[in-house]
Amino acid sequence: MGVWTTGGILLLSIISGMLYMHNKVKAWDNIIYPGIKIEGEDLSGRNKEEAKKIVEQRHGAAVLKKKLNIVTPDRTYTLDYSKINPKHNVDEVVKEAYEYGKNLNLFKQYRLIKSKEGKQYKLGFTYDSKPITELLNNIEKDINKEPVNARLKGYGGSFTAVPEESGRKLQKDKLQKEISSKLNGDKGPDISIEAPIEVITARITSDKLTTINSRIATFTTNYGSISSAERANNIVLSTRSINGLVMLPGDTFSFNEVVGERTAGKGYKAAPVIIGNQVDSGLGGGICQVSTTLYNAILRANIKSVERAHHTLPSHYVPLGLDATVDYGNLDYKFKNTLDYPIYIEGDTSGGNVTFNIYSNSSLTGIVTEVISEVYETIQPGVKYIDDPTLPVGQTQQTQAPSTGFKVKVTKRTKQNGKVISEEVIANDFYKPVDAVIKRGTKK
């Protein structure tokens, strides 16, 4: 009898204990377990609706009041968080916090409730990045500035150096990464970030120009006596594009890059130009006299060409073999400054003459370069006749003027203090003869 009494008491005790645990756990069925926190907020004993309201009030509303500040040397750019549509995954996290532990067995649930060990939850944070991208683009426009090279001011060898100006560039990618790493849904203070800005040094600084003190070469051709007003206009415009150019040792000059495309919008006009085997009218006609004049000045500065082509027909303003034709997008005149010093190119179009003066260091004035043009073969043109049934018999009409052909060798001879130090053939040009083309009538 005593045994059964002891067993019954034990069973009753177990049942009582189970019932106690059941009631304790059941009391937490519709509320969040003890010690559960979201972003540090203790939500123990709260139902889902209460927890959601608390989290939204303390985090959602607070975040909307925050600002993102981008600090630059000139000003501070501010973007309100409200502009980026910030959102927390409140529903998702509250649901997860509410369900924590509720899928465990009775004993484990009871242990969680009794121990109050709880769990910490972080809110996820999303936002619209478009307003940030727009802000960075605006900052970039305000910040970015190309450096300005030092230049020489003056004429005829009397120069003063105008100092360079440094440029700056917003390191946008770096700033974007820092914003992404710091932009969060915390209800803390505003976020301030100093914009990373790179200082860009000018390539040509005033100290590099101090060595330019003497004229080392010059060349002139006359255009006033052979040019229409339109052709003269083109020569003046293209020369103006080149005037004042400074080139450091190793720099390469491209006529087409410096002068640019010859367009009506830039003021260029239609004028006679050599196209194929004849002279026609083209926009920018005449600028080949500019490239030719510059070519000859550069040769006399003891600088060779990188790229140069002669005309299909002889030019009358320079000896044969000394012309340099250009055609934007097709033919270019290029040279590389192979001297040990910077050069300054001065272009002038006064008095109907186009002149290029090349200035550099006085140590180069003892070096004199001669350019010799030698025609070693002359080829007379022929005549081609074409029967034309639209012309009366005996009547003729010339459709293509003849042009004599030449083979010419150009030699560059360089002397230092009167002594020849180098001599080389720099061009072997062939101006092909152009036959006259004459129509003769066959109509009776």
- Closest among 298, 293, 304, 303 to 348, alpha carbons compared: 293
pLDDT in tens, the chain (444 residues): 445 577 666 677 777 767 888 888 888 889 998 999 988 889 999 999 988 888 888 777 777 888 999 999 999 999 998 899 888 888 899 998 888 988 989 888 888 888 888 889 988 888 999 999 999 999 999 999 999 999 998 877 788 889 999 999 999 999 999 999 988 777 778 999 999 999 999 999 999 999 999 999 999 999 999 999 999 999 999 999 999 999 999 999 999 999 999 999 999 998 877 666 566 666 778 999 999 999 999 999 999 999 999 998 898 899 999 999 999 999 999 999 999 999 999 999 999 999 999 999 999 999 999 999 999 999 999 999 999 999 989 899 998 889 999 999 999 999 998 899 999 999 999 999 999 999 999 988
Q: How many CB atoms lie within 10 A of CB 389?
A: 8
Rounded to 5 degrees, what angle do the CA atoms 151, 156, 158 make?
Answer: 60
Taken in order 295, 258, 261, 153, the sign of the CA dihedral is: negative
- Closest among 224, 259, 208 to 351, alpha carbons compared: 224
Instruction: Name the residue with tokens 């006085």.
Output: 362
DSSP state of 207: G
Rounded to 5 degrees, what angle do the CA atoms 106, 112, 114 make?
Answer: 100
pTM: 0.75
Rounded to 5 degrees, what angle do the CA atoms 391, 393, 397 make?
Answer: 50
Q: Give backbone dihedrals phi and psi of 24, rounded to 5 degrees, phi first.
A: -60, -45
In the chain, where the domains are located: 130-205, 211-443
Q: What does R_g of the chain's alpha carbons equal in angstroms?
A: 43
CB 376 within 8 A of CB 418: no
Instruction: Name the residue with tokens 């022929």.
Output: 382
Rounded to 5 degrees, what angle do the CA atoms 186, 187, 191 make?
Answer: 75
How far, in Å, CA of 342 to CA of 152, rounded?
12
Instruction: Enumerate the β-bridge partners of residue 199.
Output: 168
Q: How many CB atoms lie within 10 A of CB 323?
A: 27
CB 301 within 8 A of CB 358: yes
Rounded to 5 degrees, what angle do the CA atoms 235, 239, 245 make?
Answer: 170
How far, in Å, CA of 357 to CA of 317, rounded?
18
How far lies 365's CA from each of 4, 101, 418, in Å? 129, 93, 12
